[in-house]
Amino acid sequence: MTSYYLHFSVEEQHDHEESPLSGQPDQVKSEDTQQQIIRETFHLVSKRDENVCNFLEGGLLIGGSDNKLIYRHYATLYFVFCVDSSESELGILDLIQVFVETLDKCFENVCELDLIFHVDKVHNILAEMVMGGMVLETNMNEIVTQIDAQNKLEKSEAGLAGAPARAVSAVKNMNLPEIPRNINIGDISIKVPNLPTFK
Amino acid sequence: MALKMVKGSIDRMFDKNLQDLVRGIRNHKEDEAKYISQCIDEIKQELKQDNIAVKANAVCKLTYLQMLGYDISWAAFNIIEVMSASKFTFKRIGYLAASQCFHEGTDVIMLTTNQIRKDLSSPNQYDTGVALTGLSCFVTPDLARDLANDIMTLMSHTKPYIRKKAVLIMYKVFLKYPESLRPAFPRLKEKLEDPDPGVQSAAVNVICELARRNPKNYLSLAPLFFKLMTSSTNNWVLIKIIKLFGALTPLEPRLGKKLIEPLTNLIHSHSQHRDLTGICASVSVLISLSSGMPNHSASIQLCVQKLRILIEDSDQNLKYLGLLAMSKILKTHPKSVQSHKDLILQCLDDKDESIRLRALDLLYGMVSKKNLMEIVKKLMIHVDKAEGTTYRDELLTKIIDICSQSNYQYITNFEWYISILVELTRLEGTRHGHLIAAQMLDVAIRVKAIRRFAVSQMAMLLDNAHLIASNAQRNGICEVLYAAAWICGEFSEHLEEANQTLEAMLRPKVTTLPGHIQAVYVQNMVKLYASILQQKEQAGEKEAAQEITQLMIERLPQFVQSADLEVQERASCILQLIKYIQKLQIKEVPVAEEVIALFAGELNPVAPKAQKKVPVPEGLDLDAWINEPPSDSESEDEKPKTIFHEEEQRHSRHRQPEIDEEELARRREARKQEQANNPFYIKSSPSPQKRYQDTPGVEHIPVVQIDLSVPLKVPGMPMSDQYVKLEEERRHKQKLEKDKKKKKQKKEKRGKHHRHNSLHTESEEDIAPAHHVDIITEEMPENALPSDEDDKDPNDPYKALDIDLDKPLADSEKLPVQRHRNVETLKSPDSEVPLVEKKSKKPKKKEKKHKDKERDKGKKKEKEKKVVEEEEEEKKVILQDLHYFSSCCYLLLSLVCCLGTVQTAESIPITSFLNLTYDIQGNLQNDSQVTVSVIFENKSTSFLKSMELNVLDSLNTKMLRPEGSSVHDGIPVPFQLPPGISNEAQFVFTLQSIVMAQKLKGTLSFIVKNDEGSTHEKLDFKLHFSCASYLITTPCYSDAFAKLLESGDLHMSSIKVDGISISFQHLLAKICFHHHFSVVERVDSCASMYSRSIQGHHVCLLVKKGENSVSIDGKCNDSTLLSNLLDEMKETLSKC
């Protein structure tokens, strides 16, 4: 499925895309094509109505008819995966749900700004789920356990030396009245009624 | 100094981190680019510092900038620096950046090999994990080759977290380094039964992905997957397996039969409780069912029924998936889908584009002669309504696909089709102008009866060219003018108002069209001119003829000035020609015949692959130079690329205007003769339909009854609708007539009218085409090869993975183990000499187990000797490496894993008939089972059959027999042995305790059959289960090893063996090899080693070498096991 992912936010529209891109591994994608793909994907996804299906075909940029876009829309965010025909469509929809729920757990009530400011962390979480374009783990508890263990390891490495840096960063964040905590994704824990969990 | 460091770290706090960068970018919306370039300058400064934390922070920010679309490849080296940091925090940042920006072209990537190898063998599982994740994104063929063996080792790592990642990344390795597939496959297969569900699912994932591309190589795994399918509770795995079966069933029909019951049950059970799980699974089941079962109408019926329910569902996702599955069924069972046409047409009106596209896809398979017009009409309405070019383009291609499928099988009225094509040209901004153009050309060339109509339509198009070509540069539709110009020129005899068309082609606006179209214009206006000239001359209107010449001379210069070479060249050529004609006209010489002769002859459609399909005659070397290659300067004046399709054929045309008709006919005859005798000439096939071109005369064109009710051609008016009405009336009339006829004369058949090459279904036979059309099939060379192999893309990356996996591994097929380059040059006496000694002492009776099952007796020994030698060779290299780089203990680990497939085997006494060699292997998955593989080698000249192996069970060790058989029954060996053949069988034994070695008595009974008759024979043997055979080589890291030793719950024991003369390296290798240990750490002449029993006992050894002796201290959870192991070791060592 994926050869690499990129991560993007269009603030004007308050949209956010997470797009593991489908992989012709031999195809070198320059930064320009990458941006073009994101723009086109955003263009395609953002004009879709609420009550349509979550699958999108077409778009030459994403690599031919074998590939399709599968997306989910949460409040101001779009999560878009690009997969080939070896993946089950509903399975990927569920994977997105697992991803969002995992983000919610790891960031404690995730909001859009968390994702914008902590792109690296989002990447690390995604890396526990999808590796080199293939689905690695779908069990949320397992993912969260591994992420927690890695964070712990990171903290222990920082040790005393990390303390002042953390303090400074805390101070920096305090000066940030504009971080509105209230754009939480309201319906994140509400599953779409006819799409129960896929385990 | 210390102060400086403190200061450095305080400064660092106020460095911009990622959050600051993001915040900054958000605050500088107006001058974002400027702000970012400032930041990049800062980052460059930070990268220059020595502090790794600063660097990591900089790289972290770069990763974010890369995401925004900035090129960060200049920092590749710094990224590698951060990757090699010792702290996990920084390492992770480095690998993340690498996975985002490294690709195959990154040149510094080769510097990472050793770093990645080090991280892969790191004691910290997250270091390994992060390296694997990163590697999966940027693995190159070189990295794959160098690291394949390390990754394979990790596939049996103790932590499932690492195992699953290692298994998954193997797919990427296979893609980049296909040679690794065969050596790694057995272990991959093993992982299908891993106790950890994550690892299992990763293995299923990889194998499914492999099998999707080359299913036939994985047929042998079907039983295993069948087992997994019935036992697995993980839906991810289940769906993957079902998809895999979907690919396998077409290859093995028996599999389909076996699957049908469980799958049907699955569908039934899931449709009862309508949950996502069930529907998801059942959809996959349906898809795989449909592709697999050729003749199972009941199940297909069930599928289609269930799919209908899905499509009718209000949930758009299910609707989409239902249509998707339907299209898969359509490929194999078009009939069963056709009955749901109503539903699919309904979906065309859906508000969701994805669903409409799916429905469109299905339409392709549902058209028939009866409903084609109706369906296309519906589509045309959609084309008008459609918003967004993507969907409209899709509609356009679909219309063309539907109409042109299987050689225009479903088209009954080509006039209708041409008018559809003309209507499509009114689409603005479509990318598919060339598609429409190609269809126009194809139809006009191949359907002779339609030419008159086509020409009139094309003339209209040319007349309205300004509408089409309004913004030529970005409008793909102007391509149709290419076709229009060519058709009008080539078939100008059908043109009614040629003058007007010629003028339309000479308009100044034409020069704004793309070059290749102008070139066609120029060429074809001459054709038109020629036919007008002829007309006028025949009518005796000399002035009109001169007028037209004057017009040409006036207007052509605008093309001579064209920037396009092709246009310029043709135009100036033609201008001169026409000036010459003008001179002749002034002298009142009739020229028309000669000008017409320029374009005599007819063009035939040639199949696109015709050239490729001509076999190269023997003895012809296409790569050889005919003449010596010209010098560089000459080769540069190549022609521009704009060459239109027909040029090839045009070469054979006569260009001299001087020759008269008679001469022309004579030459044509002569050429035909010559061609007939020339074996290399691609002849037209002798089928009657195609013979017309030999005699280009009017009498061979079928007479067309042009229906006078054809509507007037008003430009820009949609006309196809009228055809639909007309067609309906016509059909009705036909039916009435037919009914009458039927009454009169039932036997009369209408088969005559049937078009060449078309297939008719019963119901469609009623509809006769409106015109008697003759579709010319495309020409193919006579001796064309029927193969379609050229359809495959030779660059397909998956093609390289088409590897037979069932063939036993050959000796040479091993993953490359890292060796040190200077091994050969460093020849130290203490590593060289003992090896020679060992080789001479090597007991010959030991035989190596070998997987090659079928070879003859003579070769076997030789081959095995070679294997032994090769192993020695390999050991030698590794031992030398060890000597010089004793810290690289992972080398030996990988060696041991590499050798794992070739384990020590012991021979059972030889009789005159049979030689048995066996090997005992533990199984990590089951702590109370070992597998004994026995190689039976028939050494006699007789045929051995009905072999039955029986073992006298002890209390502790029992042979696993099929259920229901008593302990005294033997197990039949599943094969017979012709003379000189050997084969391998496996027997499973269950054990309770593994702390003691055991010997079991056994008998093998068999029947010897030769020319004199058959005798019953018996062979007694003993199986020796040594304690070492319960051990499994397991890698262990030094810190884990230290912890183990500190834990204090291990018993200790030690031995000492005197009179050891071999080198220490050699000694370690022996312990590793015979007793399944691996080296943990080695310092000088002291080494720690580790192994694990199948029941989870840890065994740790400390081996110390003295002058002439070796002392081994062992620690183990079980003291009996330890003392037995040490005894065995003592025995091995004392032989040295």
Distance from C-alpha of B1090 to C-alpha of B1038, rounded to nearest angstrom: 10
Tell me whether residues B198 and A51 touch, CB distance under 8 A: no
Q: How far, in Å, are B934, B985, B1005 from residue B971 at the CA level?
A: 13, 11, 10
Of B1089, B377, B413, which is closest to residue B718 (Cα–Cα)?
Answer: B377
- pLDDT confidence of residue B1124: 87
Collect all residues of chain A within an 8 Å Cβ-Cβ radius of residue B283.
90
Residue A187 domain flag: no
Compare all CA atoms of chain B with the CA of A172 and give the residue at the minimum distance: B20
- pLDDT confidence of residue B896: 31
- pLDDT confidence of residue B949: 83
Tell me whether residues B168 and A134 touch, CB distance under 8 A: yes
Compare all CA atoms of chain B with the CA of A117 and give the residue at the minimum distance: B19
Buried-state track B468-501, b at ≥16 Cβ within 10 A, e below 16: bbeebeebbbbbbbbbbbbbbbbbbebbeebbeb
> Which of B11, B59, B64, B68 should we substitute to test contact with A (largest number of A Cβ atoms within 10 Å)?
B68
**pLDDT beyond 50 at A180:** no
Q: A148 and A133 in one domain?
A: yes
Distance from C-alpha of B505 to C-alpha of B725, rounded to nearest angstrom: 34
Q: Are the C-beta atoms of B306 and B318 separated by less than 8 Å?
A: no
> Which of B10, B354, B361, B401 should we substitute to test contact with A (largest number of A Cβ atoms within 10 Å)?
B354
Long-range (24+ apart) CB contacts under 8 A made by A99-107 are A99/A18, A99/A125, A99/A126, A99/A129, A100/A72, A100/A74, A100/A185, A100/A188, A101/A140, A101/A188, A101/A189, A102/A129, A102/A140, A102/A143, A102/A144, A102/A147, A104/A185, A104/A188, A104/A189, A105/A140, A105/A144, A106/A144, A106/A147
Collect all residues of chain A within an 8 Å Cβ-Cβ radius of residue B135.
132
Distance from C-alpha of B414 to C-alpha of B427, rounded to nearest angstrom: 21
Per-residue model confidence as pLDDT tens digits over A37-52: 777 778 888 888 888 8
Tell me whether residues B23 and A176 touch, CB distance under 8 A: yes
Of A66, A89, A92, A60, which is closest to residue A79 (Cα–Cα)?
Answer: A92
- Interface size, chain A vs chain B, as Cβ–Cβ contacts under 8 Å: 188
Of B824, B854, B871, B843, which is closest to residue B977 (Cα–Cα)?
Answer: B854
Tell me whether residues A119 and B103 touch, CB distance under 8 A: no
Distance from C-alpha of B150 to C-alpha of B849, rounded to nearest angstrom: 24
Compare all CA atoms of chain B with the CA of A33 and give the residue at the minimum distance: B69
Beta bridge partners of A135: A130
Residue A2 domain flag: no
Tell me whether residues A120 and B93 touch, CB distance under 8 A: yes
Positions of chain B with pLDDT lower than 70, given as ranges = 1-14, 266-297, 388, 429, 468-475, 630-665, 667-668, 670-725, 727-728, 730-731, 734-735, 737-798, 806, 808-913, 923-925, 1136
Distance from C-alpha of A155 to C-alpha of B68, rounded to nearest angstrom: 29
Beta bridge partners of A82: A69
> What rounded mean pLDDT belongs to chain A?
69
Q: How far, in Å, are B545, B590, B599 from residue B536 at the CA level?
A: 6, 11, 18
Distance from C-alpha of A34 to C-alpha of A16, rounded to nearest angstrom: 15
What the block records as the tokens of A16 is 């956010």
Query: Which residue from B70, B92, B175 is facing A25, i.e. has the nearest CB?
Result: B175
Q: Are the C-beta atoms of A124 and A147 separated by less than 8 Å?
A: yes
Query: Among positive and negative, which fits the CA dihedral B253, B257, B259, B265?
Result: positive
Question: What is the pTM for the complete model shown?
Answer: 0.59
Please identify which residue in the block is written with the tokens 């225009």: B408
Identity of residue B697: G
Tell me whether residues B175 and A138 touch, CB distance under 8 A: no
Collect all residues of chain B within an 8 Å Cβ-Cβ radius of residue A32.
69
DSSP assignments along B931-968, one per residue: EEEEEEEE-SSSEEEEEEEEE---SSEEE---TT--TT
Distance from C-alpha of A12 to C-alpha of A16, rounded to nearest angstrom: 10
Tell me whether residues B22 and A116 touch, CB distance under 8 A: yes
Give how far A126 is from chain B: nearest CA, Å: 11
Give how far B450 is from chain A: nearest CA, Å: 35
Residue A107 domain flag: yes
* Predicted-assembly ipTM surpassing the 0.85 threshold: no
Tell me whether residues B235 and A91 touch, CB distance under 8 A: yes
Give how far B70 is from chain A: nearest CA, Å: 7
Q: Would you identify the CATH topology of the domain B1031-1134?
A: TATA-Binding Protein (3.30.310)
Listed in sequence order, the DSSP H helices in B464-505 are 465-468, 479-490, 498-505
Tell me whether residues A132 and B205 touch, CB distance under 8 A: no
SS3 B1105: strand
Give how far A177 is from chain B: nearest CA, Å: 12
- Beta-sheet strand order (sheet of B1013-1025): B971-972, B943-951, B998-1010, B1013-1025
- Those residues whose C-beta lies under 8 Å from the C-beta of residue B227, and which sit 6 or more positions away, are none
Give how far B76 is from chain A: nearest CA, Å: 15
Tell me whether residues B390 and A59 touch, CB distance under 8 A: yes
Identity of residue B112: T
Of A40, A11, A37, which is closest to residue A24 (Cα–Cα)?
Answer: A37
Compare all CA atoms of chain B with the CA of A88 and give the residue at the minimum distance: B239
H-run or E-run covering A79? strand A77-83
Q: What angle do CA B782, B788, B792 make, to 5 degrees?
A: 145
Tell me whether residues B63 and A158 touch, CB distance under 8 A: no
Tell me whether residues B96 and A56 touch, CB distance under 8 A: no
What 3 state SS string does B197-222 have? Answer: HHHHHHHHHHHHHHHHHCHHHHHHHH
Q: A58 and A104 in one domain?
A: no
In chain B, where the domains are located? 428-596, 903-1025, 1031-1134
Tell me whether residues B209 and A173 touch, CB distance under 8 A: no
Give how far B368 is from chain A: nearest CA, Å: 26
Residue A131 domain flag: yes
Query: Which residue from A34, A169, A196 is facing B69, i.e. has the nearest CB?
Result: A34
Residue A38 domain flag: yes
Pairing of strands B943-951, B998-1010: antiparallel
Beta bridge partners of A70: A55, A81
> Which of A52, A87, A155, A160 should we substitute to test contact with B (largest number of B Cβ atoms within 10 Å)?
A52
Distance from C-alpha of B667 to C-alpha of B656, rounded to nearest angstrom: 12
- pLDDT confidence of residue B169: 93
Query: Among positive and negative, which fits the CA dihedral A101, A104, A107, A108?
Result: negative
- Those residues whose C-beta lies under 8 Å from the C-beta of residue B389, and which sit 6 or more positions away, are B429, B430, B431
Distance from C-alpha of B942 to C-alpha of B979, rounded to nearest angstrom: 6
What the block records as the tokens of B718 is 């949609």
Domain count, chain A: 2
Identity of residue B279: I
Distance from C-alpha of B1089 to C-alpha of B1104, rounded to nearest angstrom: 11
Q: Are the C-beta atoms of A103 and A119 separated by less than 8 Å?
A: no
> Which of A51, A86, A197 should we substitute to test contact with B (largest number of B Cβ atoms within 10 Å)?
A86
- pLDDT confidence of residue B363: 83
CA B807 to chain CA mean position, Å: 22
Give how far A91 is from chain B: nearest CA, Å: 7
In CATH, what number is assigned to the domain containing residue A98?
3.30.450.60
- Those residues whose C-beta lies under 8 Å from the C-beta of residue B532, and which sit 6 or more positions away, are B492, B498, B499, B502, B545, B548
Q: A121 and A72 in one domain?
A: no
Residue A65 domain flag: yes
Query: Which residue from A117, A131, A164 is facing B13, i.e. has the nearest CB?
Result: A164
Q: Which domain holds residue A69?
A: 29-87
Q: What angle do CA B830, B831, B832 make, to 5 degrees?
A: 95
> Which of A113, A137, A143, A144 should we substitute to test contact with B (largest number of B Cβ atoms within 10 Å)?
A137
DSSP assigned state of B768: -
Count how many Cα atoms sit within 13 Å of the Cα of residue B565 in the half-sphere of its side chain.
Answer: 7
Distance from C-alpha of B913 to C-alpha of B910, rounded to nearest angstrom: 8
Single out the residue in A120, A141, A157 at which a domain terminates. A157
- pLDDT confidence of residue A191: 35
Collect all residues of chain A within an 8 Å Cβ-Cβ radius of residue B9.
161, 164
Compare all CA atoms of chain B with the CA of A155 and give the residue at the minimum distance: B89
Compare all CA atoms of chain B with the CA of A69 and give the residue at the minimum distance: B354
Tell me whether residues B126 and A56 touch, CB distance under 8 A: no
- pLDDT confidence of residue B889: 30
Buried-state track B1064-1086, b at ≥16 Cβ within 10 A, e below 16: bbbbbbbbbbbbbbbbbbbeeee
Q: Are the C-beta atoms of B422 and B457 separated by less than 8 Å?
A: yes
> Which of B26, B353, B358, B801 should we substitute to test contact with A (largest number of A Cβ atoms within 10 Å)?
B353
Q: A98 and A152 in one domain?
A: yes
Q: Are the C-beta atoms of A100 and A72 separated by less than 8 Å?
A: yes
Percent helix, strand and coil across chain B, each rounded to 5? 55, 10, 30
Q: How far, in Å, are A1, A67, B174, B188, B792 from residue B799 at the CA level?
A: 18, 19, 11, 20, 9
For B903-1025, CATH gives 2.60.40.1230
Distance from C-alpha of B562 to C-alpha of B474, rounded to nearest angstrom: 19
Residue B26: burial class (beta carbons within 10 Å; 0-12, 13-18, 19+) = middle
